[in-house]
Structure 1
Amino acid sequence: MTGWSRRQALGLAVAGLPLSAQAATETWPSRPIRMIIPFPPGGTTDLMGRLLAERLSARLGQPVVVENRGGAGGNIGADAVAKSPPDGYTLVMCSIGTAAINYAAYGADMPYKPQDLAAIGLAVRVPNLVLASRDSGITDFAGLLAAARRSPGRLNYGTSGIGGSPHACMELLKVRAGIDITHVPFRGSGPMLTELVAGRIQTAMDNIPSALNFVRDGQIRALAVTSRERVPLLRDVPTLVEAGIADFDATAWFGLQAPAATPAPVILRLGAAVDEVVSSEEWARQIGAFAAQPPGLTARGGSSPEAFADFIAAEITRWAEVARAGNISVR
């Protein structure tokens, strides 16, 4: 659907609302809003979601209450929102996994479809890190490649779960580097990082915000970053391109979605509130402390429901190709 036709559809949706629905949207929000985080506490989705919830509460005049509901690569929480009443009071802090990669990874087992969730706004983009345990003996990316090539399949890597951007990024990296490393999925970044620090897994891929303090404290090693450019907070960590993987550029992202039939006026108001938050200097400064970046989907550097919907559609196509190349599947 083109941008113009989507705007027309929103307008028609408003005009076609029954009087009772119009009255309800005019008073929205009149009670607390629930934001489902489809992953356990401590991961990047949780960190970014709680920051966004706090700022949306101030702009919407009602508390935005966070509820963690993890499992199945984020699908359990996202599906709960897709099947919730479309009244604007239940939202999901989606990830690149729940909104794009999982459609390819889970295939026919996906409990919801792209059209079951409405885009509200992109909140943040986050590069990933290639990590190693201090007990692994791997001190740089060249060392990881050498270890993987000496013993194909014996080296392992942890992620926050099947189908997320860390899993997809590492599988893409395996294809591009010609190495075989065994995936060990966890139920979130927190449990995975605990095992990496303890040395019970050798390597990992994770979003920067959840791994940052462990790297700074010297508990784990950062070998490379998946973005095209180095991250200011980790200037000594090379990009994968610098480490010899040509044209590698992969960034995770997180945003807000609602049940698909949520009234257009509510989606537009939520979208405006998200845009106001994420295009502000305060937001850039706050997420910058986690090496994260603002969305940059609109001219002012923010987001909108329309721009985010187009972005998600493009990402679904892009990561379906990666999933095929990397054989990413939970079936």
Structure 2
Amino acid sequence: MDRRSLLALPLLAPALAAAQGGWPARPIRIVVPFPPGGLADLLARPLALRLQSALGQPVVVENRPGAGGNIGADAVAKAAPDGATWLLGSIGPLAANPFLFANMPFDPRTAFAPCVQLISTPKVIAVNASRPWRDLPALLADARARPGAIRGGSAGNGSSLHIALALLNRLAGVEITHVPYRGAAPAVTDLVAGTLDLIIDNTPNILPQLREGTVRPLAVATAARLPVLPEVPTAEEAGLPGFVFGTWFGLAAPARTPPDIVARMAEAVSAALREPEIGPRLAETGAVVGGGTPEQFAAFIAAQVAVLEPLIREARIRAD
């Protein structure tokens, strides 16, 4: 291929894409239903750049935060099912929110066509470094001896951190007091300062403090140990079987989006996640990189709903 042909490739890409089934024939919008700068936003922007190159159309990231992700998700649910609008959703708007909010503008079970899981972010049980608990059994023994005395922080009522704490209380038969914050960052700040006793946070969020030694990890809520925290036992290894819980993010389209478009986007995203500048960098933060098919993501969401609904109802968790 000569130099002139090579230079023309970027201009020809949209036409080639349109010729291969008509999608994408125009710019693509990825709605992130959370504020800029968060994990979802930091995931969306490098992914958008990779997809723009792979699909031959501009890919724009639009932040539409509010109501635990419901505002942005509702905008996608009501968008035309033509493959031009996608939701970078999470455990909230794609699974948990119907059980957390009294009034939902959409039903995630019917509003979206699941496309592909992007990442999951395992949780780690961490305590202030000055506290006496050296392992999870010591923490739980103290919690049983002093019901309500130990304070656990979260990113807010109905957040995944709140749900994780409720799951810990239920499985261990303890009563750790929930202290909600407006976001995980101020909760971690108070944990480091000693105002809080513990937090069950996403590994990428708290990994810097764990490495600095300002907070102490007791266990990870995963089936196997994490490569970034190989010395930290799983909750089951620490004597609490069944405590496996994490946050996750995935891509979804409006319901009735043609299955072939959803499948093609899943393939493009899975390929992007394997790129050195995306997948390995995410793994370095403690995230577990996803990928796969729409069918796999749909089955995963259904399994999550089966766990979340009874837990949220039993613990009477409500969002702000």
Describe the SS at the equivalent of 1:26: coil
The worse-fitting range, judged by mean Cα deviation, of 207-216 and 319-328 is 319-328
Q: Which amino acid aligns with 1:316?
A: V
What is the 5 A alignment of 1:36-75? 36-75=31-70
Q: CA deviation at 1:172?
A: 1.0
Deviation at 1:191, TM superposition (A): 3.4
From 204, 218, 225, the counterpart of 1:230? 225
TM-score (norm 1): 0.79
How far apart are the structure 2 equivalents of 1:66 and 1:164?
23
Q: What's the offset of the Cα at 1:150?
A: 3.8
Distance in 1 between residues matched to 2:197 and 2:35, nearest whole Å: 22
Query: Shift of the alpha carbon at 1:26?
Result: 1.5
Q: What is the CA–CA distance in structure 2 between the aligned matches of 1:186 and 1:80, rounded to whole Å?
A: 27
The CA RMSD measured in Å over matched residues stands at 2.8
**1:29 shift after superposition:** 4.3
| TM-aligned CA distance change 1:188 to 1:71, over 3 Å | farther
TM-score, scaled relative to structure 2: 0.82
Contact 1:70/1:76, CA 8 A, preserved across alignment: yes
Which residues of 2 match residues 16-31 of structure 1 at below 5 A?
Answer: 26=22, 28-31=24-27
Q: Cα distance, 1:98 vs. partner?
A: 2.0
Q: Which residue of structure 1 lines up, in the alignment, with residue 317 of structure 2?
A: 328
Is 1:193 aligned to residue 182 of structure 2?
no
Q: Sequence identity of aligned pairs in percent? A: 43
Aligned-pair CA distance for 1:126: 2.3
Where in structure 1 are there 5+ consecutive unaligned residues? 1-21, 296-301
The whole-number CA distance in structure 2 between the counterparts of 1:170 and 1:154 is 14
Residues 135-189 of structure 1: CA distance to partner in whole angstroms, max 9, x if unpaired? Answer: 5554432343244234322322222333343322221111111111222233433
8 Å contact kept, 1:101–1:164: no
Deviation at 1:27, TM superposition (A): 5.3
Q: Does 1:315 align with 2:304?
A: yes
Structure 2 residue 168 is the aligned partner of structure 1 residue 179: no
- Relative distance call for 1:200 and 1:97 in structure 2 (3 A) is same
For 1:149-298, list aligned pairs within 5 A.
149-278=144-273, 283-295=278-290
Distance in 2, Cα, partners of 1:278 & 1:327: 37
Q: Counterpart of 2:312 in structure 1: which amino acid?
A: A
> Is the aligned partner of 1:109 residue 2:75?
no
* Offset of residue 234 of structure 1: 0.7
In 1, distance between residues paired with 2:113 and 2:213? 41
1:130 to 2:125 alignment: yes
Q: For structure 1, which segment, 278-287 or 318-327, has the greater mean C-alpha deviation from structure 2 after superposition?
A: 278-287
Given that residues 121 and 274 in structure 1 are in contact (C-alpha distance below 8 angstroms), is that contact kept between their aligned partners in structure 2?
yes
Q: SS at the partner of 2:123?
A: strand
CA–CA distance in structure 1, aligned partners of residues 46 and 193 of structure 2? 29
Q: Which moves more between the two structures, 303-312 or 221-230? A: 303-312
* Contact persistence 2:24–2:57 (CA under 8 A): no
The C-alpha deviation readout for 1:270-300, integer Å capped at 9, x for no partner, is 22212322356765423221222233xxxxx
Please give the per-residue CA displacement for 1:248-282, whole angstroms capped at 9, x wherever unaligned.
32233211012224344432332221232235676
Which residue in 1 is equivalent to 2:113? 118
Partner of 1:34: 29
Distance 1:252 1:330, change over 3 A: closer
The structure with more radius of gyration = 2
Give the Cα–Cα distance (whole angstroms) in 2 for the partners of residues 194 and 235 of structure 1. 25
C-alpha distance in structure 2 between counterparts of 1:110 and 1:84, whole Å: 17
- Indicate the SS of the match to 1:239: coil
Contact 2:32–2:44 (CA under 8 A) maintained in structure 1: yes
Q: Secondary structure, in 3 states, of the residue corresponding to 2:257?
A: coil
Shift of 1:37: 2.4
Q: Which residue of 2 aligns with 1:303?
A: 292
8 A contact 2:171–2:242 mirrored in 1: no
Q: Is the 8 A contact 2:266 2:294 kept in 1?
A: yes
User: Where does residue 10 of structure 2 map in the other structure?
Assistant: none
Q: For the structure 1 residues 140 and 43, does the alpha-carbon distance in structure 2 shift closer, same or farther, using more than 3 Å as the test?
A: farther
